[in-house]
Amino acid sequence: MADPVKRVNLLPQGATAREKAHADTDGRLDDRLAEARAITARKDPTTCPVDLLPYLAWERSVDVWDPAWPEAVKRAVITAAPTVHAYKGTAYAVKTALAALQVQADVTEWWQANPQGQPYTFSQPYTFSVVAHARSPIYGHVLLDARLIKVVFATVMRTKPLSRAFDLTVAANMPGALGAAGIGVARSTVRVPVYADNSEAFASTLGAAGVAVARSMVRVAMVSPPDV
């Protein structure tokens, strides 16, 4: 409940009981209006108090949530949630959900690949591919680490078509040293690429460790930065 609105009593000393009752009713209506405005502010991801953001995320059915995210990322994820749910199962939903994490995603369906791929088969289980470019660190000062990879993978899993398998590449572009740790994921191949001007400098600054899980692998690849 919001605090009652502070107001000055402008009624004359000789006011009747009816006039006093009207003034009291108007005051209570003002109190309810103040409470409604306070509730509205708490329902808005841009104005909701930080300590209430997890509850707002629950109310909006945010699929992937990490208390360690910066405040701006939490607000962006909550803001994007209704759109993600409205388009869930599409490439647009995958891109929107990852964009809230400050990750730019390129999604390529099997029929868009060159040469053209094929639908899901046991020998070729990837029916679409996602290249996720991390643009800003959300875990401390490290742009790409195991936590980000897990969050990206979980986000794709919760927004993709349920019956579809995929190939995920998580990339990061940063001028300094980069540390990357492998994670285990089921029925997908995760490649962890980094951009570097010199492969020797890259080899001396990057450490990668893979965790063996059924049908999963972590690779480190050298790729060119995407056009911005």
Residue 192: inside a domain:
yes
The range of the structural domain enclosing residue 188 comes to: 50-219
Letter string b/e over residues 139-178, b meaning 16 or more CB atoms within 10 A of that residue's CB: beebbbbbbbbbbbbbbbbebbeeeebbbbbbbbbbeeeb
Report d(CA 202, CA 188) in Å as an integer: 25
Residue 124 lies in a domain: yes
**pLDDT at residue 126, as a whole number:** 66
In a domain, 176, yes or no: yes
Is 127 part of any domain? Answer: yes
Residue 214 lies in a domain: yes
pTM of the model: 0.68
Pairing label, strands 218-219, 189-191: parallel
pLDDT tens over the chain, length 228 residues: 445 555 667 777 878 888 777 777 766 666 676 676 777 789 999 999 999 999 999 999 999 999 999 999 999 999 999 999 999 999 999 999 999 999 999 999 888 888 877 776 666 666 888 989 888 899 988 888 889 989 999 999 999 988 788 888 888 754 443 444 444 333 345 554 443 333 333 333 333 333 222 233 333 333 444 554
Q: So what's the pLDDT on residue 100?
A: 98
Is 103 within the bounds of a domain? yes
Number of domains in the chain: 1
35 within a domain of the structure (yes/no): no
pLDDT score, position 226 = 52
Whether 160 maps to a domain, the answer reads: yes
What confidence score (pLDDT) does residue 135 get? 87
Q: What is the pLDDT of residue 227?
A: 53
Phi, psi angle pair for 82, to nearest 5°: -60, -40
